[in-house]
Structures are given as C-alpha cells and as structure tokens.
Amino acid sequence: MESTRRARSMAGHIAAYLVLAVLALFCVVPFAWVLLGSVDAHASVYLRTPDWSLHNFVEFFTQSGTPQLLVNSLIIAGGGTIVCIGLAMFSGYAFSRFRFPGRRTMLFGILLIRVIPPTATIAPLYVLVLDLHLNNSYLGIILVEAAFNLPLALWLLKGFFDTIPESLEEAAAVDGASRWSAAIRVVFPLALPGLGASALFTFISIWGDFLTPLVLLQSPNLFPISIGLFQAYVGFNEVKWGLLTATAVIYMIPTVLMYLLVRRYLLRATLSGALKG
Amino acid sequence: MRTASVIAAMAGPTLILVGLFVVGPAVYGIWLSFTNKSLEGAAALHTQFVGLANYRTLFTDGGFLQSLGMSAEFVFFSAIVGQFVLGMVAAILLSRTTIRFKGLFGAAILLPMVVPEVVAALTWGSMLAQGHFGTVNRGIALFGFAPVNWLQSVPMLSIIIINIWRGIAFAMIMFQAAIEGIPKEIEQAARVDGASPWQIVRHITLPLIRGPIQLYMLVSTITTFSIFGLVYFLTQGGPGGATNLVAIYIYNYAFQFFEIGLGSAGSVILLLAILVLGFMYVRLSRAEV
C-alpha cells in the first residue's frame, strides 16, 4: 500500500518535470535561430550550425542606415520616458497626497483609459497629429508615446508614493509653495526604486512599440529598430538574414536585461493597481 | 485656494497630454466615423458628413463581420483556451514545493513575453519557414509528417500557436500570485485525508482562485483583441484575408486605402466592445484609491 503510493508519487514527480521541460523548450527554441543566425557568416532563414563570425554585428554598426535605427529607438524611447515619468511623478504625487473632488472618478477613468487599444484610436490619432503639424517628427512621436504610457506610470507611482508615510513631509510642508520642495526633496528620493521601475517599464513599452511609429513616421531616417526590422523582413530586396538577426539581438537584449531588474513588479504593472499591494 | 493651484499644476499636464492624445482621438474618431474623411482624392479636400453610411458599409460588405469573427476565434483559442491552460499548468507545477530549478523554468517561460513583439514574430518566421528545413517541419518529420507551408495553408492555426507561445507567461505569473495566496494548511489537510493531486487542484486550488481567473479572462480578452504587430509582421492579414483580425482590418482601411472615415467606424465598434469589458474590469479589480 505504502510502496504503491510512493511509486505513484514518484511517477507524478517525473511527469511534472517532463511537462515543465516541454513547456520551457517550447518557449525557448524559437530564439535559437535568432541567436545563432546573428553569429553566422552565412545565415539563412533556416536554423543551422553557424559559421562563427561577428561580422553581422560589425556590419550593423558600420553599414549606412542601421546605426541610425538604434539612435532613433534611443531618442524616441528615452525622450518618451523622460516626458512620461517627469509628468507622472507630479501627477502621481498629487493623486496620492491630495483629496479633491473628482479624484476617484479620474483615477478610475485613467484605469479605464488603459484598456483602450491603440489600434482603436490610431486612425483619428493620425489625423489629429497631422492637424497639429507633429507628423513625421521626433517631438510628435515622443509626446504620443508619453501619453500612451502615462496612465500606467501614474498608477504605479501613486502606488509607490502611497507606501511612503505622509508624516515625513508634513514637517517640511507648511504652505503651498513648500509642497513642491517636500515632494522633490523628501518623497521622490525615497521613491527612487519605484521611479526607476516605472521608468524601465515605460522605456521597454516604447522601445518595443511597432504600430505607433509605423503610422506616425514616414521618413526612413526617423525609423526606430522595430520598423527597420519589419521593412527588412518584408523588403523586396533579398533579405540579409545575418544582419537581420544581429539587429534583432541588439534590439532584444536591452529589454530582456531591464525585465530582469523589474521582474518583481511585473504583476503590478500588467494590472496597474488592479490588485492590492 | 493655494492647494487647489498646486494640485492643478501637478496633475494638469498629465491630464492634458492624456486628454489630447488618448481621449481626444477616441472622441474625434466618433465624429470621423460619420464623415467620408479620406487622405486621398476629392474627399481629402472636402470632408462631408455622411451619417451612418460607414456603419452600413461595415455591416453589409461582409469583410468587417468576418474580421470580428476571426478576432473572436483568435482570442478564444489563444487566450481563453491555450494560454489559460498552459499558464495554469505551469503555475500549479511551479507552486509545488518539491520542484527544483523553478527560477530556470520560470525564466524560460517568461522569455517570449519580454522580447519586443517584432522579434517574437520574427523568430516564428524561421520556425514556420516552408520546406524541409523549416524548424517545425523538421520536428514533425521525426514523426513521419510531410512538410507544411504553415503561414499559407493553416494561417489562423499558426498565429494562434504563436500567440499562445507569447502569452503563457502572463497567465502563469497571475496564477502563481493567486496560488501563493492560498493558505498551505488547506492543501495539507486535504492530502492527509487522502486527496490526490488532481482532486486538490480540481476541488481546492481552482475554486479558491476563481476571482483571479475571471480577472485574467477579462484582461487577456482585452489585450488579445488589440494585438496588431505580432500578426501583421508575419501575414499583413493574409493570405487572402485569412488572418485579417479587426486591428489589421482597421489599419488597412485607414492607411492602405486611406479611408479614415471607414477605419474610424471600425475603431468605434472595437472601442465600444472593449469599453464594455473595461467597465467590468474596473469593477472586478476593486482597486483601492
């Protein structure tokens, strides 16, 4: 009796490892081609043993056009993150510290705005950006990306500020003017991990965006990496698989590393305050 | 009075930017959906009010309804079935105290979710490549199957599998957090009473995390309905419109045919459907403010 039970639990144990191993392999195997292709002097669309070479990466940084993709991605994601976090710091602080009429409605409204899919507003957004003469410019896409990411950043930062006791700044804050210095000198430094996490989430989100730059940018010299990869993949010319996979590796490494830093906030960010804590 | 101006100065810029570029387009889209706004031809110069004409076109020419059906199929099989089942299996197995290498398994499953969607799509461009040397075709050849031209002959199945792959992690992390919240004593008591692992999952774990499961269904339905890049990168809605999800339909109408009015009408319908789900989400989430 005891031995059959143990045998059964042993079999269950092995089955559990088998299922997990298959799942993990399913998730990882597709990346083999991108990684091996990027160091293969004769990469093709098929997975193969590489002729080891760093030539593809050299080509990425020396060929005309491709370094500009990286620069554009950095400008757009960096600029968008600075604008987004710069604004969300203060609005998150205001929603955390002050009780004012309409506050609850606005907070829930902002939560609701998060579910609006970019694909559902992209056509009118394009017309609006045209009307504002912000089309095909760094400024236009930076402002739009910042706006898209503000709801999440505001909710995340409000949550972080909520955990900092208000008594710390009450001593500093006597009148309206010093409220700003209390926020900047007392609260923001204490919320630095939260600010960092929110900034990383914003950066990752803008860095990985495809639809917005596809619609709002037309000049190849403004394209970020996502659009460059798409153009190269569907291009009429022969695809250079080595350069393409090297570009993909350069593109994905920063997000993977950043995710490692913010992994513990992942659930909170995907639900943006929808779960307690 | 001073406090009011501090609040306005702190929160104002955020509300203005979100109002201008998120709420504004949503409202502007409703107006545009009643016009013949176009980026090309005569209508580009003289935009006219056309009433419900765009909506009539959407619901009579068949393409849009077909797109809605495809999106529903895509959402159901990839998010509601595939990601849910595999994410739940991963979460339950990784919550077992006896399992080792949890970090390694967890990280592997997380990888498809954390890379940019363009890279995720690109990897499958090679996985599903046609001919004998495509990675998946080499895999099925081991079992004696002939090579398949995946994106041409079974495009919907292909994008469903790709999206399941990308989203297992989201389901997994949500259910892991929920399972962690279940007191260990309940499970232990059941085991002492002789319950099998399957009985514990069926009668204890699943009923106790019903709330997070509902929340997952809602959130993943919303996000899956708006998927664009992952599919557009590989198929552009093809072949022959077989993967023309609502998001791709709207994009093509607005930016390939320059029919902004028609694209906006499609957007309004997508938006209404999502907002209904969104209200349920906000209510279900019981967020503290």
By CB atoms closer than 10 A (0-12, 13-18, 19+), residue B2 is exposed
- Partnered with residue A52 across adjacent β-strands are A40
Residue B187 tokens read as 């499970």
Residue A44 has pLDDT above 60, yes or no: yes
Largest CA distance in chain B: 78
- Partnered with residue B49 across adjacent β-strands are B35
> Residue B141 domain-assigned?
yes
Cα–Cα distance, A36 to B111 (Å, whole number): 17
pLDDT score of A153: 93
By the 8 A CB rule, do B141 and A54 touch?
no
Output phi, psi for A215, to 5 deg. Answer: -90, -40
> Residue B195 domain-assigned?
yes
Output phi, psi for B39, to 5 deg. Answer: -95, -5
Q: What's the complex ipTM? A: 0.89
pLDDT category of residue B286 using cuts at 50, 70 and 90: low
Residue A23 has pLDDT above 70, yes or no: yes
pLDDT category of residue A27 using cuts at 50, 70 and 90: very high
pLDDT score of B282: 77
Of A131, A98, A28, A230, whose CA–CA distance to B110 is shortest? Answer: A28
Residue B234 has pLDDT above 90, yes or no: yes
- Per DSSP, the three-state class of A52 is strand
Contact A122 B251 (CB under 8 A): yes
Contact A91 B115 (CB under 8 A): no
Contact A112 B90 (CB under 8 A): no
Average pLDDT, stretch A2-9?
73
By the 8 A CB rule, do B168 and A27 touch?
yes
Residues of B in contact with A126 (CB under 8 A): 254-255, 260
B94 contacts: CB under 8 Å, gap ≥ 6: A20, B102, B105, B106, B172, B176
Q: B134 CA to chain A: closest CA distance, Å?
A: 6
pLDDT score of A236: 61
Cα–Cα distance, B63 to A7 (Å, whole number): 57
CA atoms within 13 A on the CB side of A19: 17
pTM value is 0.91
For A183, the closest chain B residue by CA position comes to B10
> Residue B54 domain-assigned?
no
Output phi, psi for B49, to 5 deg. Answer: -75, 125
Contact A150 B14 (CB under 8 A): yes
**What b-and-e string marks burial along B181-219, b requiring 16 or more CB atoms within 10 Å of the CB?**
eeeeeebeebeeeebebeebbeebbeebbeebbebbbbb
CATH of domain A64-237+250-271: 1.10.3720.10
> Residue B152 domain-assigned?
yes
Q: pLDDT per residue over A233-263, tens digit each?
A: 987 667 889 999 999 999 999 999 998 888 7
* Count of Cβ atoms closer than 10 Å to residue B39 Cβ: 16
> Which residue in the set A33, A87, A210 is minimally distant from B14, CB to CB?
A87
pLDDT category of residue A87 using cuts at 50, 70 and 90: very high
Cα–Cα distance, A263 to B110 (Å, whole number): 10
Of A206, A265, A231, whose CA–CA distance to A75 is shortest? Answer: A206
pLDDT score of B167: 94
3-class SS letters over B156-173:
HHHHHHHHHHHHHHHHHH
Contact B263 A175 (CB under 8 A): no
> Residue B129 domain-assigned?
yes
Which of B32, B114, B175, B257 is most worth mutating to test chain A (most A CB atoms within 10 A of its CB)?
B114
Contact B25 A94 (CB under 8 A): no
Of A273, A117, A212, whose CA–CA distance to B222 is shortest? Answer: A117
By the 8 A CB rule, do B182 and B205 touch?
yes
pLDDT category of residue A275 using cuts at 50, 70 and 90: very low
Q: A261 CA to chain B: closest CA distance, Å?
A: 12
- Per DSSP, the three-state class of B253 is helix
Q: B96 CA to chain A: closest CA distance, Å?
A: 10
Average pLDDT, stretch B92-98?
87
Residue B255 tokens read as 């930016």
- The DSSP 8-state label assigned to residue A63 in this structure reads S
A217 interfacial to chain B (CB closer than 8 Å): no
CA A2 to chain centre: 52
By CB atoms closer than 10 A (0-12, 13-18, 19+), residue B252 is buried
CB-defined contacts A:B, below 8 A? 302
> Which residue in the set B7, B125, B263 is minimally distant from A123, CB to CB?
B263
pLDDT score of A274: 43
A146 contacts: CB under 8 Å, gap ≥ 6: A80, A81, A83, A84, A87, B17
Mean pLDDT over the full length of chain B: 89
Residue A16 tokens read as 């559990």
Q: pLDDT per residue over A90-144, tens digit each?
A: 999 999 989 988 898 898 888 888 888 888 899 999 999 999 999 999 999 999 9
How far, CA to CA in Å, does B160 sit from each of A46, B199, B227, B236? Answer: 22, 30, 12, 15
- Per DSSP, the three-state class of B89 is helix
A146 interfacial to chain B (CB closer than 8 Å): yes
pLDDT score of B94: 92
DSSP string, B181-220: TS-HHHHHHHHHTT--HHHHIIIIIHHHTHHHHHHHHHHH
Report A:222-241 residues touching B (Cβ under 8 A): 225-226, 229-230, 233-234
Alpha helices in chain B (DSSP H): 2-18, 24-32, 42-45, 53-60, 63-74, 84-94, 102-114, 117-127, 135-141, 150-153, 155-180, 184-192, 197-200, 206-208, 210-225, 229-235, 246-251, 260-285
pLDDT score of A277: 30
> Residue B31 domain-assigned?
no
pLDDT score of A177: 56
Q: A64 CA to chain B: closest CA distance, Å?
A: 22
Q: Is B240 left (phi over 0), alpha (psi -120 to 50) or beta?
A: left
Q: pLDDT per residue over B102-159, tens digit each?
A: 889 999 999 999 999 999 999 999 999 988 899 999 999 999 999 999 999 999 999 9
For A17, the closest chain B residue by CA position comes to B99
Contact B285 A125 (CB under 8 A): no
Number of domains within chain B: 1
Q: pLDDT per residue over B195-229, tens digit each?
A: 888 888 899 899 999 888 988 998 899 899 989 99
H/E stretch holding A145 reads helix A138-162
By the 8 A CB rule, do A59 and A242 touch?
yes
**What b-and-e string marks burial along B64-101, b requiring 16 or more CB atoms within 10 Å of the CB?**
beebbebbeebbebbbeebbbebbbbbbbbbbeeeeee
> Residue B85 domain-assigned?
yes
Report A:95-134 residues touching B (Cβ under 8 A): 95, 98, 100, 103-104, 106-108, 110-113, 115-128
Contact A211 B229 (CB under 8 A): yes
Q: pLDDT per residue over A182-208, tens digit each?
A: 888 888 988 998 999 999 999 999 999
> Residue B93 domain-assigned?
yes
Higher pLDDT, B115 or B46: B115
A33 interfacial to chain B (CB closer than 8 Å): yes
Range of the domain at B139: 59-285
Which of A4, A20, A188 is most worth mutating to test chain B (most B CB atoms within 10 A of its CB)?
A20
